[in-house]
Amino acid sequence: MIKEKVLSVLEHHKELETQLSSQDVASDPSKMEKLGKEYNAINKNLSIYKKYLEVLNSINEAEQIIGSESDTELVELAQEDLKGNQELLPVLEDKVKFLLVPRDPKDMKNAVVEIRAGTGGTEAGIFAADLYRMYTHFLERKGWSLEILSSSFGDLGAIKEIIFIAKGDNAYGTLKYESGVHRVQRVPQTEAQGRIHTSAASVAVFPEADEFEIEIDPNDLRIDLYCSSGPGGQSVNTTYSAVRIVHVPTGITVTCQDEKSQHKNKAKALKVLQTRLYEQKLAEIEAKETAARKSMVSTGDRSAKIRTYNFPQNRITDHRINLTLYNLDKAVDGDIDELIDALYTADLEEKVQQSSL
């Protein structure tokens, strides 16, 4: 069964190669991007698929020689070859099982990330800023780009809320495990007595919506224009460049004042609204999926405490998989690959157990 699935993947790889070289796809950038990502996802694991098939074929050939050959020396060589490949097969089979688990098509999309300060006052806002800096450094390491859609700042560099798009290959599939409540334990900048405080910030990650997935009727919108403001509410712009959009049917309200141009703010606000509507749609789907599959690394419950950052002990703990690392200083500088890889592996192991592979 695994062999048949591998052969099917390789056949699909050839089909994608043919499609990507066709004129129809070459003239359609969105289709080219979509098929290109799918092709590259298979291509990077091609050597494992081929090695698995080679080992199976070698085992089959060795068994045939052992069963039919009278040449003792040839049989001994075949037996030696058979033993080595039989030891290698389970390792390759496990790797192939992971690769064959159906991937969520949304994983290939860009990721929209929302960071909001939670409990803890100004310190929570400072922690939210630390998380934002951690993710920006992580994106830089990956060679990905970032576009800020909306932001709101407080005092001392604190972030009340920031929404940005992480643009890169498999961005959502990589960052989706970051959704949830992040808790910090440290001596705040605002604390004169040197006592350790606990505060929190929430992170929500979801795939960027394509325009055709969420259509917004202009008649459903109420758009207000006003002067943008800075920390503390003081006016920083005397022109009506800030935009507030209310989606009347759902009551969702979005504001954007980051740009000096009213048109740019409106475009960004509409993008955030589109994202929020998509998030609402996904939440309904995720609720059904979560009911069917209780996952330890589920992204469905965004109110769950997922991680603690303890600065005095240089410790970072992910509570979903009971993983504790003592490299917080590196993690806040964007080195969170070990955490994300561990969560990805745990999620895959669950899916492999629940699949028929």
Are residues 6 and 90 both part of a single domain? yes
H-run or E-run covering 330: helix 328-331
3-class DSSP state for residue 229? strand
Are residues 126 and 248 both part of a single domain? no
Residues 188-215: what's their mean pLDDT? 81
Which stretches does DSSP call E strand in the chain? 111-117, 145-153, 159-167, 180-186, 197-207, 221-226, 242-247, 252-256, 305-310, 315-318, 323-325
pTM for the model stands at 0.72
Query: What CATH number does residue 74 fall under?
Result: 1.20.58
Percentage with pLDDT > 90 across the chain? 45
Are residues 92 and 110 both part of a single domain? no
Are residues 112 and 156 both part of a single domain? yes
Q: Is 289 inside any structural domain? A: no
The DSSP letter of residue 333 is T
pLDDT at 199 over 60: yes
CA distances from 92 to 81, 100, 271 (A): 16, 12, 43
Residue 203, pLDDT score: 95
3-class DSSP state for residue 250? coil
The DSSP letter of residue 235 is B
Look up tokens 């603690």; give the residue. 308
Total of domains in the chain: 3
Residue 196, pLDDT score: 85
Domain boundary among 254, 284, 314: 284
Domain boundary among 284, 305, 338: 284
Number of Cα atoms under 13 Å in the Cβ half of residue 285: 9
Query: What CATH number does residue 152 fall under?
Result: 3.30.70.1660
Q: Is 15 inside any structural domain? A: yes
What DSSP string runs through 161-207?
EEEEEEESTTHHHHHGGG-EEEEEEE--TT-SS---EEEEEEEEEEE
What DSSP string runs through 57-71?
HHHHHHHHHHHH---
Separation between Cα atoms, residue 88 and residue 326, nearest integer Å: 34
Average pLDDT, the chain: 86
Token reading at 352: 């492999």
pLDDT at 241 over 90: no
CA distances from 350 to 97, 296, 337 (A): 12, 9, 20
Answer whether 119's CB lies under 8 Å from 93's CB. Answer: no
85-117 tens-digit pLDDT: 999 999 999 889 888 887 788 888 899 999 999
Q: Is 224 inside any structural domain? A: yes
Residues 147-176: what's their mean pLDDT? 91
Look up tokens 């969520």; give the residue. 104
pLDDT at 294 over 60: no
Residue 352, pLDDT score: 80
More confident residue, 226 or 309: 309
pLDDT at 297 over 70: no
Answer whether 78's CB lies under 8 Å from 62's CB. Answer: yes
Are residues 182 and 318 both part of a single domain? yes
More confident residue, 141 or 216: 141
52-77 tens-digit pLDDT: 999 999 999 999 998 887 778 888 89
Which residue range forms the structural domain that includes residue 264? Answer: 218-284
pLDDT at 342 over 80: yes
Q: Is 251 inside any structural domain? A: yes
Are residues 90 and 117 both part of a single domain? no
List, in order, residues 6 or more apart from 269 with CB less than 8 Å away. Answer: 150, 243, 244, 245, 254, 255, 256
3-class DSSP state for residue 252? strand
Answer whether 257's CB lies under 8 Å from 239's CB. Answer: no
Are residues 181 and 41 both part of a single domain? no
Q: Is 290 inside any structural domain? A: no
Residue 232, pLDDT score: 46
Q: Is 335 inside any structural domain? A: yes
Are residues 302 and 207 both part of a single domain? yes
Residues 120-135: what's their mean pLDDT? 93
Are residues 196 and 238 both part of a single domain? no
Separation between Cα atoms, residue 60 and residue 56, nearest integer Å: 6
Query: What CATH number does residue 236 fall under?
Result: 3.30.160.20
Task: Please report which confidence band the pLDDT of residue 345 belongs to, taking 50, 70 and 90 as the band edges.
Answer: confident
Paired strand residues for 150: 163
Residues 175-204: what's their mean pLDDT? 87
CA distances from 216 to 209, 251, 274 (A): 12, 13, 7
Are residues 186 and 242 both part of a single domain? no
Are residues 262 and 317 both part of a single domain? no
253-285 tens-digit pLDDT: 988 887 888 888 888 888 888 888 887 887 777
Are residues 86 and 114 both part of a single domain? no
Domain boundary among 284, 311, 332: 284
